[in-house]
Chains A and B, each alone.
Chain A
Amino acid sequence: MAAVDDLQFEEFGNAATSLAANPDATTINIEDPGETPKHQPGPPRGSGREEDDELLGNDDSDKTELLAGQKKSSPFWTFEYYQTFFDVDTYQVFDRIKGSLLPIPGKNFVRLYIRSNPDLYGPFWICATLVFAIAISGNLSNFLIHLGEKTYHYVPEFRKVSIAATIIYAYAWLVPLALWGFLMWRNGKVMNIVSYSFLEIVCVYGYSLFIYIPTAILWIIPQKAVRWILVMIALGISGSVLAMTFWPAVREDNRRVALATIVTIVLLHMLLSVGCLAYFFDAPEMDHLPTTTATPNQTVAAAKSS
């Protein structure tokens, strides 16, 4: 971590420190005067900056204070360093989840909710819940689909939990890493006003995956149309959260690069959801009805097609 002590009292543009590469850090908010103050990851915004799209939503209960040199920047091998990433209260986590579910045009998720206090609690536990939600729902859904078949023997399919975990956690960490690298690279070429730190990107991605938890549970319903409608809805919501978050970060850039970035983000998101649907949930056969008096022809056909 760079010398954060330099960044007091409205210093602008210390480009040497990586923290200053995050100039969209707003003023500091401290919820509780008794709590340990968070580190300030960048200089406060100047008034001359164009933030036409951004609404700060100052109706929060956050009190804003200038940190007068009381920052904690523990070295990365101490436990306190990692505690700064879990410095959230229950209502904050709920607010962030709510923000990921209701994307409002013009409100930037990072600006509004994360506000230079990215946490790792949300991304980690949302991904963990999603892993088990997908594995369990997939198992349940397969059980219900194949319920009447005589040749079907129920297995809990425990292997799929580890596969789901690998997929989800890889997506939640590697894609933000790639995106962050890409944005940093573009920042070197085009001066972007808004740039995000790696943890903020991880945070956005983690919270944007929340919508898939109820979606995975609803995917138990063995109707193809229902499942695809759910995919569209979930993709619409979380895709728009991501798009609206990252559009300010690329809009200064070449038009085509900006559009390509947003399209890639949404495309990867869709790939994740469709891939999970295809792998963990068996296709419901339209002509397959669980009957107790299945004729031998039907049973053979069902066994062949599943």
Chain B
Amino acid sequence: MKSRIREFDSSTLNESVRNTIMRDLKAVGKKFMHVLYPRKSNTLLRDWDLWGPLILCVTLALMLQRDSVDSEKDGGPQFAEVFVIVWFGAVTITLNSKLLGGNISFFQSLCVLGYCILPLTVAMLICRLVLLADPGPVNFMVRLFVVIVMFAWSIVASTAFLADSQPPNRRALAVYPVFLFYFVISWMILTFTPQ
């Protein structure tokens, strides 16, 4: 009996919930750091997880919500629309990359694309803060600048991880959909108008 309990101790089943959560959070945080300071490393690819993309996607979708009750007239993206765009966009890009002959696994690619939304989520945060000031062209220019910088950051980060998985004669074909994906998300962030 005692030996069996000792066996279980070496697995993660008996550890406290706090340990489990902290371990996963640390992994997610480490990947956030990798995205913010992109250099060619395999961490994002090797230990992929989808927690980070989920957290980022939900945060982004929540922040893109408006305060008004009748969001029908608003014309902005609903929560579900943002979710669908992010996840189906990522899946489509992954499928495209695999169909072109890339040697990256499905979930690795999803992981990278999801994590590289982090700069754009930061941009959304900054935009919401900037929008608390009074509106005007200066307000818009600031937001435009922030979104452009973060958009470029996302592209650089994701290309650093994804470009190597494609043969060189198709790299541009695989990177262009990533560009389109982040461009659409940046557009949603830039055109956000609270009401």
Contact = CB atoms under 8 A, between A and B. Distances in A.
B170 A139 contact: no
B172 A90 contact: yes
Chain A interface, DSSP helix/strand/loop, else mixed? helix
A90 B99 CA distance: 14
Nearest to B175: A90
A110 B187 CA distance: 36
Contacts of B171: 90
Interface stretch (A149-157, A178-186, A274-282): A149-157
Contacts of B81: 158
B130 interface: no
Given A90-B173, A128-B180, A139-B191, A156 B99 contact: no
A83 B101 contact: yes
Chain B interface, DSSP helix/strand/loop, else mixed? helix
A129 B180 contact: yes
Contact of B173 (A88, A128, A155, A156): A88
Nearest to A136: B187
Interface string A123-140: 011001100100010010
A168 to B, nearest CB: 14
Contacts of A154: 191, 193
A91 B98 CA distance: 19
Nearest to A160: B75
A159 B192 CA distance: 14
Contact of A155 (B73, B98, B101, B169): B73
A91 B76 contact: no
B74 interface: yes
B84 to A, nearest CB: 10
Contacts of B188: 156, 158
Nearest to B84: A162
Interface string B20-31: 000000000000
A60 to B, nearest CB: 15
Contacts of A155: 73-76, 193
A86 interface: yes
B103 interface: no
B173 A93 contact: yes
Given A88-B173, A90-B171, A132-B180, A156 B191 contact: yes
B149 interface: no
Interface in A78-108: 79, 82-83, 85-91, 93
Q: Chain B: interface residue count, which band?
A: 20 to 34
Interface in B141-195: 169-173, 176-177, 180, 183-184, 187-188, 191-193
Contacts of A156: 75-77, 188, 191-193
A121 interface: yes
Contacts of A93: 173
Given A82-B99, A83-B101, A155-B74, A125 B191 contact: no
Contacts of A132: 180, 183-184, 187
Contacts of B126: none
A158 B76 contact: yes
B135 to A, nearest CB: 10
Interface in A159-190: 159
A89 B193 CA distance: 41
Nearest to B101: A83
Contacts of A121: 96, 99-100, 173
Contact of A89 (B99, B169, B184): B169
Nearest to B72: A159
A209 B45 CA distance: 36
Given A121-B100, A157-B75, A158-B77, A89 B177 contact: no
Contacts of A139: 191
Nearest to B184: A132
Q: Which among B77, B99, B192 has the highest number of chain A CB atoms within 10 Å?
A: B99
Interface in A184-219: none
B189 to A, nearest CB: 11
Pairs A-B, 5 closest by C-beta atoms: A155-B75, A86-B99, A156-B191, A89-B169, A157-B75
29 contacts: A79-B98, A79-B99, A82-B99, A83-B99, A83-B101, A86-B99, A87-B101, A88-B170, A88-B173, A89-B170, A90-B169, A90-B171, A90-B173, A91-B169, A93-B173, A121-B173, A124-B96, A125-B96, A128-B177, A154-B191, A155-B75, A155-B76, A156-B75, A156-B76, A156-B188, A156-B191, A158-B76, A158-B78, A159-B75
